[in-house]
Amino acid sequence: MKNLLIITLISFYGLNLYSQDEPKVVVFNSPKTERQPSDVTSLLKFGMLEPFSGTFSVYYERVLTDKISAEVGLGLTIDDYLNIAINDLDDLFNEGPRQPKIGQAFSLGVRYYPGIVPEEFYVAPEFRFKRYVNTFTYEDATGLPVVENESRSISIGRLSFGYHYLVQDNIFWDFYGGFGIGQEKGQRYEQFYNDVTEEFEYQNIVETGLTPRLHIGIKLGIGF
């Protein structure tokens, strides 16, 4: 107990010295000074939550004016783990007839900063595209394996609201969220019973549709 008390006192003393390192100046009746624009004109960022949906993306943001910037992102997809966990948890851990392959991801957006670009709050209309690819293996009537390609693509138009938080030395956290409309198109193989041949067979099913989308995310980036 005595050692703990000594350590606590030393810690408070150290924090007190640290807080006195920089002099504090109080000026009365001085005009309010405006915050100077940032020297950062480019940012390289990485999506931190996207791996949960099987996406690994790199983003580049470029300042265009004192209020506007543009961001482009490129990435790879493996499998939509979050979607599988929600809809069929067993497929997430069991090796089935579907095996994931490498797909593509792309995004493009324009950002408006009411304050200082590229810091603090922003609003961004964005377009995002993701394509998941996998193989599906089954046996035909003769017992030979047949390998087919399946795919699922998502095209999303969305509106994002975010906040750029400067940590130190041009290191940024980018917190964002928003809503949009997504168009999904996929093709997959499903087993069915053929009444004519009285055998189980596989058919290619194509699905399309529009769905509302909500999104949140975090990016970690460096400015230069």
Q: Where are the beta strands (DSSP E) in the chain?
A: 42-47, 55-63, 68-77, 98-112, 120-139, 145-168, 171-194, 199-223
Confidence at residue 36, expressed as pLDDT on a 0 to 100 scale: 63
Identify the band that residue 7 occupies on the pLDDT scale cut at 50, 70 and 90: very low
Label residue 42 by pLDDT band (50, 70, 90). Answer: very high
Per-residue pLDDT band for 202 (boundaries 50, 70, 90) equals confident
User: CA torsion angle for 210, 201, 148, 151 (degrees, to 10)?
Assistant: 10
Question: pLDDT value at position 92?
Answer: 54
* 89-104: pLDDT as tens digits: 555 555 678 889 999 9
What is the pLDDT, as a whole number, of residue 174? 98
pLDDT at 79: 87
What is the predicted pLDDT for the residue at 112? 98
Residue 107 has pLDDT above 90, yes or no: yes
Q: pLDDT of 50-72, one tens digit each?
A: 999 999 999 999 999 999 999 99
| Residue partners of 100: CB distance under 8 A and separation at least 6 | 54, 78, 79, 132, 133, 134
Higher pLDDT, 75 or 18: 75
Per-residue model confidence (pLDDT) at position 94: 56
pLDDT of residue 30: 47
What is the pLDDT at residue 5? Answer: 39
For range 136-157, the mean pLDDT: 91
pTM for the whole structure: 0.78
- Alpha carbons within 13 angstroms on the beta-carbon side of residue 143 total 0
